[in-house]
Amino acid sequence: MKRLFYNPSQIVTANTAGKFFLRGNEMNEISILENHSILVENGIILEFPKNSELVLDDYKDIIDLTNKCILPGFVESHTHLVFSGSRSNEFKLKLSGISYEEIAKNGGGILHTVKSVRDSSIEELVHNSRIRIQKFIEQGITTLEIKSGYGLSFSDEIKILQVIKQLKNEFSIDIVSTFLGAHTFPPEYQNDKSKYISLITEEMLPFIKENNLAEFVDAFCETTAFSPTEVDIIFQKANELGFSLKLHTEQFNEIGGLNIALKNKAVSVDHLEVLTQNGISLLSNSETVATLLPGVSFFLNYNFAPARKLIDNNAIVALATDFNPGSSHILNFHFIMQLAAMRMKMSFEEIISACTINAAKALKMEANIGSLEIGKKADFVVLQSPNYSDLFYNIGQNIVDKTIKKGEIIYNVN
Ligand code: NIG
Ligand code: FE
């Protein structure tokens, strides 16, 4: 069955000519087509016919996009959206000057959410998450990554991964599952950290692999969480089992996480707020994606990652919300894009590349999604506006008109 997406004012293709990522200066080249339409068959992009050569009578299924801009569906590559409870009290403390790290040291932070998640049923967690995913879909997200990491015991981490599995079955968008058992040390293992590492490597990872519960393994490399040596042990085992890797690193302290991530061929390194010149050089021309999370800097009143320097040094940069209850309680992908424009000196075009094709690369899905190229999935976001710049200009408003997954409309304003 063919469907014609007819006469959009702009088609932002983010075309990579089959390379499937945009690095450094290339991130400005989002390859806009005008006076063309998109022909889709069985959920896949078939061609971009010129409007002047189209005979509309030949098509039974036409979606008129006159005066609307169409872009690749947004790829949200870093969230912690399966959680319960609220940390609004901590937010108040943070605003009064107490740091995120101090709160964590006093048993708040991630461990606060862990308590709540351990007390929640699968049904409760699915219910909370479903509402959040729906909001992302309304913002044009067609691919979404979700991490575990608020269980920190065998049964509670598996519970979260099962929630993600249920959500994958329920939603038509692509959902990618990441195991973050190494988020922080749970209270039971504070005095025997190597025992928790063994629990991860000997029990959790093999079970998750066997039951196909996650594609990625992630960890938090930080003075308050896991050391580079501990991350290395987990990553080596994960690599052996065939998982792909991501790392939360260089967020508050530079302790060697980036080196361990690169040594283990991580697909992405995420955060990088305190990245040094040496770190920038390591990511320059690297295949590892630098995923930046400006919502965290905004939410914690903290410095922003050096996006400009990374791009100027030829890195592959992606952007994500890091939506979570403690460091980025911001369920707004467009606001993240706007923050990158206003606070990170990224151009609108660089931001679009970072939220589409480069974010797809951060999920190893770049061959199928993230840009509008013949043979890729027909995943689109359509704006109520004729120009993509309006996405950045309309702060605090959702100007998405339609979200389209594999050629099907899954959210529609009109
Ligand atoms: O990506 N940095 C570690 N983990 C999360 C925060 C999780 C939390 O505070 O609950 C992050 O910022
Ligand atoms: Fe995170």
Where along the chain do its domains lie?
2-71+370-412, 74-361
Which pLDDT score, from 0 to 100, does residue 193 have? 98
Measured in whole angstroms, the distance separating CA 384 from the mean position of its chain's CA atoms is 24
Instruction: State whether the beta carbon of 83 lies less than 6 angstroms from ligand 1.
Output: no
Which pLDDT score, from 0 to 100, does residue 106 have? 82
Atom of ligand 1 lying closest to residue 104 CA: 9
The preferred substitution site among 246, 327, 330 for testing ligand 1, maximizing ligand atoms within 8 Å of CB, is 327
Instruction: State whether the beta carbon of 20 lies less than 6 angstroms from ligand 1.
Output: no
Atom 12 (ligand 1): residue with closest C-alpha?
327
Tokens 């060697």 belong to which residue? 256
The preferred substitution site among 77, 78, 80 for testing ligand 1, maximizing ligand atoms within 8 Å of CB, is 80
Instruction: State whether the beta carbon of 291 lies less than 6 angstroms from ligand 1.
Output: no
Do 16 and 368 contact (CB within 8 A), yes or no? no
Domain made up of 74-361: CATH architecture: Alpha-Beta Barrel (3.20)
Euclidean distance between CA atoms 115 and 151, whole angstroms:
8
Atom of ligand 1 lying closest to residue 222 CA: 2
In what order do the strands lie in the sheet containing 62-64? Answer: 44-47, 38-41, 2-6, 62-64
For the entire predicted model, the pTM comes to: 0.98
* H or E segment and range at residue 39: strand 38-41
Do 403 and 410 contact (CB within 8 A), yes or no? yes
* Terminal-to-terminal C-alpha distance of the chain: 23
Instruction: State whether the beta carbon of 117 lies less than 6 angstroms from ligand 1.
Output: no
Euclidean distance between CA atoms 36 and 268, whole angstroms:
35
Euclidean distance between CA atoms 333 and 321, whole angstroms:
6
Ligand at minimal distance from the CA of 324 is: 1
Q: In terms of Cα–Cα distance, which of 236, 265, 231 is closest to 249? A: 231
Euclidean distance between CA atoms 237 and 259, whole angstroms:
17
Helices (H) and strands (E) in the chain, counts: 16, 18
Instruction: State whether the beta carbon of 109 lies less than 6 angstroms from ligand 1.
Output: yes
Ligand 2 geometric centre to CA of 191 (Å): 25
Instruction: State whether the beta carbon of 325 lies less than 6 angstroms from ligand 1.
Output: yes
The preferred substitution site among 322, 323, 328, 330 for testing ligand 1, maximizing ligand atoms within 8 Å of CB, is 322
Euclidean distance between CA atoms 263 and 115, whole angstroms:
34
Which pLDDT score, from 0 to 100, does residue 231 have? 98
Euclidean distance between CA atoms 36 and 4, whole angstroms:
11
Instruction: State whether the beta carbon of 110 lies less than 6 angstroms from ligand 1.
Output: yes
Atom 9 (ligand 1): residue with closest C-alpha?
326
Q: Strands (DSSP E) along 197-243, which ranges?
A: 216-219
Q: In terms of Cα–Cα distance, which of 35, 45, 43 is closest to 65? A: 35
Q: Is the dihedral of CA 220, 265, 336, 124 positive or negative?
A: negative
The dihedral formed by the CA atoms of 275, 319, 339 and 136, expressed in degrees to the nearest 10: -140
SS3 of residue 378 by DSSP: coil
Which pLDDT tens digits describe the chain residue by residue (414 residues)? 899 999 999 999 999 999 999 999 999 999 999 999 999 999 999 999 999 999 999 999 999 999 999 999 999 999 999 999 999 999 999 999 999 889 988 878 999 999 999 999 999 999 999 999 999 999 999 999 999 999 999 999 999 999 999 999 999 999 999 999 999 999 999 999 999 999 999 999 999 999 999 999 999 999 999 999 999 999 999 999 999 999 999 999 999 999 999 999 999 999 999 999 999 999 999 999 999 999 999 999 999 999 999 999 999 999 999 999 999 999 999 999 999 999 999 999 999 999 999 999 999 999 999 999 999 999 999 999 999 999 999 999 999 999 999 999 999 997
Tokens 């939506």 belong to which residue? 323
Atom 5 (ligand 1): residue with closest C-alpha?
327
Rounded to 5°, the CA angle 387-390-395 comes to 170
Do 90 and 328 contact (CB within 8 A), yes or no? no
Which pLDDT score, from 0 to 100, does residue 313 have? 98
Q: CATH topology for 2-71+370-412?
A: Urease, subunit C; domain 1 (2.30.40)
Which pLDDT score, from 0 to 100, does residue 360 have? 98
The preferred substitution site among 88, 110, 226, 231 for testing ligand 1, maximizing ligand atoms within 8 Å of CB, is 110
